[in-house]
Amino acid sequence: MSLEQSTIDLLRALPAPVGLNFIDNKAVSAASGEVMPVISPIDGTQLTVLAASDSEDMNRAVAAARRSFETGCWSGMAPRERKRIMLKWADLIDRHALEIAVLGVRDNGTDIRMALKGEPQSAADTIRFYAEAIDKRNGEITPTRHDILSLIHREAVGVVGVIIPWNFPLMIGSWKLAPALAAGNSVVVKPSEEASLSILRVIELAAEAGIPPGVLNAVNGRGAIVGEALGLHMDVDVLGFTGSGGVGRRLLEYSARSNLKRVYLELGGKSPNLVFADAPNLKRAARETAASIFRNNGQVCAAASRLAVERSVYKDFMEAVRAEATAMRIGDPLSLAFTTGALANAAQLAKTRAAIARAAEQGATVYHGGNQLHAESGGFYHEPTILTDVATEMDVVQQEIFGPVLVARSFDTEEEAIAIANETVFGLSSVLWTRDLSKAHRVSNRIKSGVVHINCYSGADITAPLGGVRQSGNGSDRSLHALEKYENLKTKWIQL
C-alpha cells in the first residue's frame, strides 16, 4: 500500500473513538460509567477517553465467553465455516488497514510505515495463517493392541484470557487471538490501557465478519483492576500474556489462588548482539544493529539492546553504528518526513531518561545521543542513545529499559562473547554475526535464548515460533505450535 501524506493527515483529523468495552458483539460502557483519559504521545494532548472497567465488567465478559463456548456456536461450528469467517475478518482488516494504523499511531507513537506493516497488515496475515490451519489438523490413532482402538482428539480448552501490551497490540494480539479462536475457544481480551483503540477496532471487525456474540470480547481498564479480575477468574481456562516480568509473576500467583489455569508468558528480554570480526558484511551488521534497537525506540520485546563486538573491529564498527543512529529522523510518527516516532507514553520517556542517568552514575559513557527531543511539542521523543564502558553489574545491562538505549562493549574470545550473551536472567532473542559456520553453530548452541538470528535480525515470520527461556517466559507465540497452548488432548480407549 502506497502512503500519501494527504491521506494520513485526513485520517489524523478524524475524531478518535471512545474506547468502550466490547461484549456479546456490542460496544458498551463500563458498568460504573467511569472513564480514563487517553493521552497521545505525539503531542501529549488528550486523544479520547477509555472505559475504566472493574471486576463487574470482567465477570460479564467471561460469562458471555463461557455461554458462547458451551452453546457450541463457535466451538461446535464446522471447521470450514470457522475458517471462512476468519478469512473474511482478515479481509476486513486489510480493507481498513490505513485507518486502523493511523488510529494506532495516534495512540502509541509508532511511526506510520512500521505501524501499517507491523500492525493491521501483520494481524491480517496471522489470522489467515491460523484460519487456513483450522481444517487441516487431524487427530491421531495410536498403535496399540489389535483389540483396542486408541484415538487422540484435539479439543478447545474453553475460555481463553488474553492480556495485550501497548507496543504492538495488533501484531502481538493476533499471535494469541488467532490460534485461540482457530482452535475453537471463546476469548476475553484485556488491552493495554496505554494503547487500546486499534485492537478494539479490529475486534469490532471480527463481529462484522460473522464471529458469533460472546466469542470475542474486550474489557478495558487498569491492569491492577481488570487484569487481576481476569487472572483470578474461576471460569478462565488459559491465560496468555505479553508484558513485564513483575506482572507475569502476579498472573502466576493468580492462577495458584484460583483454578490453576494454564498461564503462558512472554516477558521480554535484554537480547545480546554478538559481532565477530569475520562477519560477512559489517556494514549490514551495523545497519541492522541500529535498527534492532532504535526502530520503534527500542519498544520491541526482542530488541537487541546489548552489543558486543570483537576488539579488532570494535572502533570502526561503533562508528558505523553511530552513523546509522545519526541518520535516523526522530519526530511526528504520522509525518513521512521522519523515520522513527515517539515513545508510547510519558512513563517510558521518564524511564529512559532515568536509565541513562543511572548508567552515567555507575560509570558508563554516553557515546552517542542521550537527550530528550522536541520537548516543546509536548510529545515523548528521545534521541537514539549508545552507552559504552559498561559492565555486567550495571543496571543498564541487566534491566530491560524498553527505550532507545544500546549498551556496547568489546570482547576478545569466543568464550567471552558467550559469557556476555548469557550474563542476564533473560533469554528471549539473540543475534550473531560470523561467516564461520562452525562458530555459528557452536555459539548459537550455547546462547540461552529461544531465538537466535544469525547474520540477520528479525528474519523469522509467522511460520516460526517465538518463545523465551529463563525469565523471558514460557510457551511460544507464532507457528502451528501456538495452537497447542489453546487445546486439550483427549484420549479415547475403545475395546473392539
Q: Are 259 and 238 in contact (CB under 8 A)?
A: no
User: Residue 151 has what pLDDT?
Assistant: 96
Asked if domains 5-267+473-493 and 272-461 share a fold, the reply is no
The class (CATH top level) of 5-267+473-493 is alpha beta
DSSP helix/strand/coil, 161: strand
User: Residue 185 has what pLDDT?
Assistant: 98
Q: In sequence order, what are the residues at sequence separation of 6 or more whose Cβ sits closer than 8 angstroms to the Cβ of residue 462? A: 125, 126, 129, 175, 478, 479
The class (CATH top level) of 272-461 is alpha beta
> Which of 40, 36, 183, 202 is closest to 124 using CA atoms?
202
The dihedrals phi and psi of 176, each to the nearest 5 degrees, come to -100, -45
pTM value is 0.97
Helices marked H in 96-196: 97-108, 112-116, 122-133, 169-182
Distance CA 180, CA 157 (A): 9
Q: Are 331 and 346 in contact (CB under 8 A)?
A: no
Question: Annotated catalytic sites, by residue?
Answer: 266
User: Residue 122 has what pLDDT?
Assistant: 97
CA angle, 448 then 450 then 453, to 5° = 90
- The per-type count for the chain, helices as H runs and strands as E runs, is 16, 21
Which residue ranges make up each domain of the chain? 5-267+473-493, 272-461
For residue range 270-321, what is the model confidence (pLDDT) as tens digits?
Answer: 999 999 999 999 999 999 999 999 999 999 999 999 999 999 999 999 999 9
For residue range 65-95, what is the model confidence (pLDDT) as tens digits?
Answer: 999 999 999 999 999 999 999 999 999 999 9
Distance CA 149, CA 496 (A): 7
Q: Are 269 and 426 in contact (CB under 8 A)?
A: yes
The dihedrals phi and psi of 484, each to the nearest 5 degrees, come to -65, -25
Which residues of the chain are under the pLDDT cut of 50? none
**Phi-psi category of 470—alpha, beta or left, where left has phi over 0 and alpha has psi -120 to 50?**
left
Helices marked H in 109-168: 112-116, 122-133
